[in-house]
Amino acid sequence: MSVSRRLLLEVLEDVGVDPARVHWDYSGRFMYGRTCFGFVGEDADLVWFFTELGRRLGRDEDDAGFTEGDVDELVRALRTDEMGLDKIYYFPSVDLPVEPAGGPGDESEALLTAPVDADELGDPDVERDRRVDRELGL
């Protein structure tokens, strides 16, 4: 997959998702400690996310390798967890590379690489995941 974290973050910011609600280390149901990219929002945020990704196909030189197949892969990988009034949309089968920040003092590094605490997200399956991790020796 040739989509970058930077592109995903830019798209989410463009559609109005707060960068603090973007998570690079989300562990959802039945992931047993594995982590992936996800974001917290409403159904409309998800629609706008995919709409904006479609608009950007082949437009940005920095993401010239980003293809229709990448969008298809994201759509097929999509999973959701309920979080009260919101949901987290996450993509367990999509691997994204860790990207270096733009330079010294670049605050975007925290947004691109920061881990997320599952307790902070209100994941109802945290205790079950921890128990399974212990049983598997992870």
Nearest alpha carbon to residue 108 among 35, 8, 34, 37: 8
Quick: pLDDT tens for 35-80: 899 999 999 999 999 999 888 876 655 555 678 888 888 899 999 9
Name the percent of the chain lying above pLDDT 70.
Answer: 65
3-state secondary structure 6-73: HHHHHHHHHCCCCHHHEEEEECCCCCCCCCEEEEEECHHHHHHHHHHHHHHCCCCHHHCCCCHHHHHH
CA atoms within 13 A on the CB side of 114: 14
Nearest alpha carbon to residue 74 among 55, 49, 96, 91: 91
H or E, element range at 120: helix 118-121
132 exposed, middle or buried (CB, 10 Å; 0-12, 13-18, 19+)?
middle
The domain spans of the chain are 5-136
Q: Is the pLDDT of residue 115 over 50?
A: no
- pLDDT at position 45 is 94
Whether 73 and 1 have beta carbons less than 8 Å apart is answered as yes
Q: Is 76 helix (H, G, I), strand (E, B) or coil?
A: helix
pLDDT tier, 138 (very low <50, low <70, confident <90, very high otherwise): low
